Structures are given as structure tokens and as C-alpha cells.
Amino acid sequence: MPESAGSSGLRALLDENVPLPVVRWLRIRQPHWEISHVPELGLRGCSDAAVFEWAQDNGCAIVTYDREFGPPSNFEGRQHHGIIRLRVWPTTVEETTHALSRLFGQMNQSELEDSLVIVGQNSIRVRPGNQVC
């Protein structure tokens, strides 16, 4: 279910592996979201742990292709504001925006917050809750 108009937006941090055209597209597609991009923040080259900490300190969900944000062993037991893990191939702008469009068509913002969402080529898996598991 798409998000209703007029509600407050999600704060999202897009990892450096998300191309700038996807960042621009997302800013247009979700204008009510507050979107940051790792390179714009001076965090290029920082560890996943540093990106994770920045996102948590600033109340942001993370959008990434990085598989390190998905396994149970990484950040286990850590509270977070949401992780959207993109599992599309090839990792082109077109495939990524198509996958995100499917996600926005099937889930609303409240379902994304605090959940681990894995967006595959043809599937969307959600692990609700406030921990990576």
C-alpha cells in the first residue's frame, strides 16, 4: 500500500554504492522523504559500521546494495531505523528504480521503518522489528 499524502517522511541514508541518478530519482519519487547520500556527507570510504552508526545517530533508514547489512551476524541485536537491502542484478539505475517502484507499490512507510527489507529482482522479503536478524 503506497504512503498517503501529507504524512511525515522517512529519513533515509543511501549508501555510497547507490548511484547518484537513483538518489535523484528517489528525491523526486519520494519528495516527502529526507534523503541523504553517503558521499554528500563526507562519509565516502567509511566502514559499514560507521555508516550504520551515522544512520542511527540521525534517525535514518539505510538503503544499500551491500550484503553486509543483511546477515544476522552483522549488527546483531542492534536497534535501527530500517534497512532496505537491494538485491537486483544488474545494479543499473533502471533495475534499481524498477525494484524500488515495486517496493513503494507494495509497502507503506510504516512497514519500512525499523524493518529489514530485502528487495530482490522479483520478490520483497520483510523482517519486521527493530533488530537486524
> Domain boundaries in the chain?
11-127
For residue 14, which of 55, 59, 57, 73 has the smallest C-alpha distance?
A: 55
- Cα torsion 57, 16, 83, 66 to 10°: value is -130
- Judge if pTM exceeds 0.95: no
| Rounded Cα gap, residues 122 and 52, in angstroms | 27
Structure confidence by residue, pLDDT tens digits, 77-105? 678 899 999 999 999 999 999 999 999 99
Q: Which residues contact 41 (CB under 8 A, 6 or more apart)?
A: 54
- The answer to whether the CB of 62 falls within 8 A of the CB of 38 is no
